[in-house]
Amino acid sequence: MIELRPLTAADAEAHCAGEDKHTVRWLTGGYGDVKGTIEFFNWLAGNAAAGAGKRGFGIWKSEGGAGAVPTVPARLCGYIDYTPDLDDGLDPDDVALAYAVHPWARGQGIAPEAVRLICDVLRTDKTGTRAAIRVEPENSASIRVAQKAGFRYVRDFPSNRDTHPDGTPTTFSLYLLDL
């Protein structure tokens, strides 16, 4: 079973332990440390309390026993966030999603399910009219997540804020889902 929960300071160590070269390459740009991660989680909590800006959640996986009762405590297996005010390649009512799954949990359908769950949150909260996944065309795993979650490819575009190490603009493929 997969569920989303707001992240707390107690989750920072497990979150950092789940980072690897793929997380750094496609999402964060660098490895986090526990202190900085706690500050980031506190910032996300402040945004949630204010009802504005980026909101982030831990992706938690529990193993079901008989009757879908978990047999072991849920384990942090990734991260997902949404940003309702990102304008890089998006229309004003699009909500950008970003996610990462820890290496031990990849290939289990966790990311598409987390994307579906975050879209449910957006619908419930009436945040935006479309969910958007911006993915570099070389990130085939994230493209598969978008497709499995029902998003449709729209176009490629050069970013007006993200760049490669050599300074050239990052090109993103845009995938959208009506909410």
pLDDT at 51 over 80: yes
pLDDT at 129 over 70: yes
Q: What are the structure tokens assigned to 3, written together?
A: 């569920």
Residue-averaged pLDDT of the chain: 92
d(CA 138, CA 18): 22
Q: Would you list the DSSP string of 27-60?
A: IISS---HHHHHHHHHHHHHHHHHT-S-EEEEEE
Q: Give the count of beta carbons closer than 10 Å to the beta carbon of residue 118.
A: 24
Q: Would you list the DSSP string of 62-122?
A: --B-GGG-BSS--EEEEEEEEETT--SS--TTEEEEEEEE-GGGTTSSHHHHHHHHHHHHH
- Half-sphere exposure of residue 54: CA atoms within 13 angstroms, side-chain side: 16
d(CA 18, CA 29): 14
Residue 112 near residue 148, CB atoms below 8 Å: yes
Return the CATH number at 101: 3.40.630.30
State which residues form the domain around 105.
Answer: 2-178
- Half-sphere exposure of residue 49: CA atoms within 13 angstroms, side-chain side: 6
- The pLDDT value recorded for residue 67 is 56
Between residues 72 and 147, the one the model is more confident about: 147
d(CA 179, CA 176): 9
- Name the domain count of the chain: 1
Residue 133 near residue 86, CB atoms below 8 Å: no
- Region of residue 128 (phi > 0: left; psi between -120 and 50: alpha; otherwise: beta): left
pLDDT tens for residues 132-178? 999 999 999 999 999 999 999 999 999 999 988 899 999 999 999 99
pLDDT at 43 over 90: yes
d(CA 154, CA 134): 10
